Amino acid sequence: MREIMKELDALSRGRVKELIQAKKDGAKIIEYNGTYIPEEIIRAAGAQTYLALRGGEPEPTDAVLDYMLRFMNPLARSLAGFMQLGLDPIMPISDLLVTQQTDNHIGRITELLEFKGIKVNKVGIPADWKTDGADAYYERSLREMIAEVEEITGKKVDWDEAKANFEKSNQINGWLRKINDLRKKDNPPVGLDDVIHLHHYSFIVDPDVMLEKLETIYNKLADAEGIFEADAPRLLFIGRAVAIGDYTVPRIFEQSGGAIVAEYFDEGYRVLQKDVETEGNLVHNFAKNRYVDTLPLSVMQPGWKERYAYFKQMIEDYRIDGVVWYQLCFDEIYDMECTCLAKWLEESKVPMLKLESSYEYSRESTGPLTTRIESFVESVKEGK
C-alpha cells in the first residue's frame, strides 16, 4: 500500500504542472473550494478543475492580516494567503474561482480575492436549510454558475459526459465506503492519516487512475493485519475540515496509540452518505444530494440534533471509545455546536477531547498538543 500512496502523492503533486501546461495550450482552468460545487459538470463543460483546499501552515494565514481581521478561521484565510505569498500557482492562472458561500469567513475572503483581481463566482448555500425555497435557491445558484462556466469555455455542458463523470465519482465513493467498512474490524488495517490522504487525492488525481488504485488498495487491505495495538482506544474524529497539508493532528494520535477508526468532516472529504442519481436532471440531482440527502453543515440551522443522531449512530457502528472534536480557530458556529455535543456525549458517558487549530505547528506548539493527545488516549484506554 505504501508504494501506491507514493504513486498517488506524485500524481497529485504533478497535477499542478499539468494544469500550468494545459493553460499554456489554451485550456480553461476553474478552481473550486468544496463539495457543494459540481466539478463533474464543470469538467463536462470543457474546463480543467482544481480543488483549492490547502492549509496546515501558519504563514499564509498571517499573510492576509493587512486586509482582514484576524478573527477568521485559518482555512478561509489560507485560500487567499497562499496566493498572497506566491505559493499558489493555480489561482493566478485560473479563469474562474467557484466558491461555496457557507459562512461569513469564506464570504469575506472571496471579497479580498476579488479585490486582488481574481474572478469569483459565489454559489449561495442558505444556512436556513429547512425554509421553503432554500434548496431551490441553491439549485438556481448552481445553474447561474454553470452558465458562467459555459461562457468562459465557449462550450455547453455535455450532459452525457457529466453523467459519466458522476458515475465515476459514485464508484470512487463506493470504494472509499468499502475501505471504511474495514475499519469496523477489531484492529483496522488503515487509519485516518491514510484515509484522509485518499480523499484528497481523489479530488485531484484522474478519476480512472483513482478507481484503479482504490480497488487495489481495498484488495490489499481486505486481508491485511491491523496496524494498531490490540488495546488501542477506538476514536471518532469530527471537525469542519482536515485541509490538504494539515495532517499533523491525525498523525500524532496514531503515534500516541490512538486508533481513529471513523471521521466526519463538513469540507475536504467526499460525500459518502448517498450517491448522486445519474438519471434525470443532473443539476437538480446534485443539489438534492448535497442539500437534502446529506447531513447539514454545522452552520445550517436547525441541524445539530440531526448531526448528533448521525454521530451517535457512528459511535455505535464503529464501537467508539472516545470522540475528538477538531475545530479551527475563530469558527464560532463549530464552537457553539461543540458545547452541545460535549453535553450530549457526557450524558452518554462518551469521553471527548476538543482541539482547536490555528495551523501553528511549531515545536513549541506541538509539544503541549502532543501531551494533551497522549493524556486523552491513555485516559480513554484506561476507561475501556
**231: in domain:** no
Q: Mean per-residue pLDDT for 73-81?
A: 96
**376: in domain:** no
Q: Give yes or no for a contact between 233 and 193, defined as CB atoms under 8 angstroms apart.
A: no
Of 143, 146, 173, which Cα lies nearest the Cα of 46? 146
In the prediction, which pLDDT does 58 show?
Answer: 94
In the prediction, which pLDDT does 364 show?
Answer: 83
Q: Would the pLDDT of 179 be above 90?
A: yes
In the prediction, which pLDDT does 259 show?
Answer: 98
**274: in domain:** no
Grouping H, G, I as helix, E, B as strand and the rest as coil, residue 360 is coil
Looking up cell 498571517, which residue turns up?
A: 62
Of 310, 284, 285, which Cα lies nearest the Cα of 297? 310
End-to-end CA distance of the chain: 31
**151: in domain:** yes
**195: in domain:** no
Measured over the CA atoms of residue 155, residue 113, residue 105 and residue 51, the dihedral's sign is positive
Q: Would the pLDDT of 384 be above 80?
A: no
Q: Would the pLDDT of 97 be above 90?
A: yes
Of 126, 118, 123, which Cα lies nearest the Cα of 100? 123
Q: Mean per-residue pLDDT for 288-316?
A: 96
Q: Would the pLDDT of 203 be above 80?
A: yes
pLDDT tens readout for residues 232-286:
999 999 999 999 999 999 999 999 999 999 999 999 999 999 999 999 999 999 9
Grouping H, G, I as helix, E, B as strand and the rest as coil, residue 207 is helix
In the prediction, which pLDDT does 365 show?
Answer: 85
- Tell me the whole-structure pTM to 2 decimals: 0.96
* Spatial distance between the Cα atoms of 226 and 333, rounded to a whole number of angstroms: 37
Q: Give yes or no for a contact between 13 and 19, defined as CB atoms under 8 angstroms apart.
A: no
Number of domains within the chain: 1
Q: Give yes or no for a contact between 74 and 241, defined as CB atoms under 8 angstroms apart.
A: no
The region that residue 374 occupies, defined by phi over 0 for left and psi between -120 and 50 for alpha, beta otherwise, is alpha
Structural domain span for residue 28: 19-157
In the prediction, which pLDDT does 383 show?
Answer: 84
* Spatial distance between the Cα atoms of 335 and 247, rounded to a whole number of angstroms: 21
Amino acid at 257: G
Contacts of residue 219, defined as CB under 8 A and 6 or more positions apart, other chains included, come to: none
Q: What is the CATH number of the domain that holds 51?
A: 3.40.50.11890
Please provide the average confidence, as pLDDT, over all residues in the chain. Answer: 96
Q: Would the pLDDT of 19 be above 80?
A: yes
* Spatial distance between the Cα atoms of 32 and 207, rounded to a whole number of angstroms: 17
Per-residue cell: 273: 452518505
Per-residue cell: 331: 469558527
**307: in domain:** no
pLDDT tens readout for residues 307-324:
999 999 999 999 999 999
Burial per residue of 244-270, b for 16 or more beta-carbon CB atoms within 10 angstroms, e otherwise: bbbbbbbebbbebbbbbbbbbbbbbbb
* Spatial distance between the Cα atoms of 96 and 365, rounded to a whole number of angstroms: 37
**100: in domain:** yes
**130: in domain:** yes
Percent of the chain at pLDDT above 70? Answer: 100
pLDDT tens readout for residues 103-133:
999 999 999 999 999 999 999 999 999 999 9
